[in-house]
A and B are shown apart, each in its own frame.
Chain A
Amino acid sequence: MLTINDLYVGYGDTLVVQGVSLDVAESELVSLVGANGVGKTTLLKTISGLVRAKSGEILFMGENITRLAPDEIVARGLIQVAEGRKLFPAMTVLENLELGAYTKEAHKQKKRNFELVFEMLPDLKTKARNMAGTLSGGQQQMLAIGRGLMSAPKLLILDEPSIGLSPLLTQTMFEIIGKIKEQGVTLMLVEQNVHHALGMADRGYVIEQGRIVLSGPAMKLLHDEHLKKAYLGM
């Protein structure tokens, strides 16, 4: 569904993503794990068209989307729930969700997706009239995911969904991600929380200094000696 070939991205003279190749197949959950500042968010921004690649290509459902504008990429069903949530703080929860269904395709499924989101994230229903900026961190993250689901994703990319959440909320968050997978949505999960992210994934990639250093079935990665030592403190 998503294929990235030898992608290079940088700001000025600094290369942040250095030759990344990866792929995500339909209805898979693929986790991309790595420490802070190794290029994960830059990679995702490039996938969504917010940052331009220096070279390499990104294919989505067989189409080259490397040079497309962000809105054109969203219209094709590649949706990203960005790090830092990127909500509209002075708009209500309801308005944020409505704007999730901005594209033509998402608008058609608006009613169904509203039901789905409220069923999966009931907190959002009780807070529907509140301003997004007044929600707690956990609720904001739920809203960001809810808004992503409103966009009718074929592939949903989640950037650090557990960042800043309490252990209990982190648990809830990963349960929600599990439920989204059950809905048949293809997922790419980008996380520092290696244990959780690989624990629920089909396959995983480990990124260090802008390069993929390890990849394979998630279970196998969890038992990899290098990964254990570097990320799991074992």
Chain B
Amino acid sequence: MPAIEVTSLSKTFRTKRKAAGLGASLRSLVRPEFRTIEAVRGLSFEMEPGELLGFIGPNGAGKSTTIKILTGILFPSGGEAKVLGYVPWKQRRQLAYHIGTVFGQRPQLWYHLPAIDTLTLFGKIYELDDRQTKRRIAELAEAFEIEDLLETPVRKLSLGQRMRCEVAASLLHKPKLLLLDEPSIGLDVVAKQHIRDAIRTMAAQENVGVLLTSHDAGDLEALCKRVIIINHGQIVYQDKVSALKRSFLTSKLVEVRYAQQVGADFRIAGTETLKVAKERYGVKLRFDARITPVGKVMAALSAAGTLVDITISDPPLEEVIAAIYQKAENRE
């Protein structure tokens, strides 16, 4: 049985429309105008138990709405969904015992209390006995390296420290599925890395499935095996992360540094020169590896002078995803 099964899921919101100014406010009081926003439009997908699935999309794409329907927070306008065999909006409480949720913008930890107090309360909420709760807190504290933070009021923790405590809290009751909505929002690079490592380790150790929404491609690269990209409430792409890279990361970037100066009009056949450095020792090029083999480019670069340094890289995943969004927009 799949962990998540979604068929033709849709959600529309009705919002009031009002032009600027007091006059319009008064008019809208007498005769309000509404418009319908389709946040999710006929979404269908499946997720296997223990899978690490990324849900990527720009702001307003429908990622959070989908996660909120899957946790039973929102009622859908149409379609069907089953999470661990439960219909979330009908069996919300039964489902809640088996899933963990983290909303990056909605801390679950009590702000004025140390995290240990919220964790203990969560133990009661999930009906664990006190010994079980204590043992589990110790396990999680070690995995997330939060032993020293547990007794500090949450308001005094840094955002990164707090998020580690948040994710730890969501795992207290050993859920089978973790739904993470923008877990790395607002974190710096080091804190992001820290939290990704901890999630990856725990998911592997306890065979927890992870559905993660983010608009940060780094989360996807670090954590997920498969990706669903949504925009305007619809799926625009779904495949393995490796396949996404293979089919879209066709161009390579090369940065070379020579022992002697090169000409300002430096050219290598089959490549595009992006930049020649001002002092004319360094050059940046791009080429399509399917048309011009890497070996051929290397040989030509080597023949052009004495190489001091060379780096070949893929363009960042952000660019790839932006290209996919663009393609989807153009189709519409």
**Real complex partners, A and B?**
no
A interface residues, Cβ below 8 angstroms from B: none
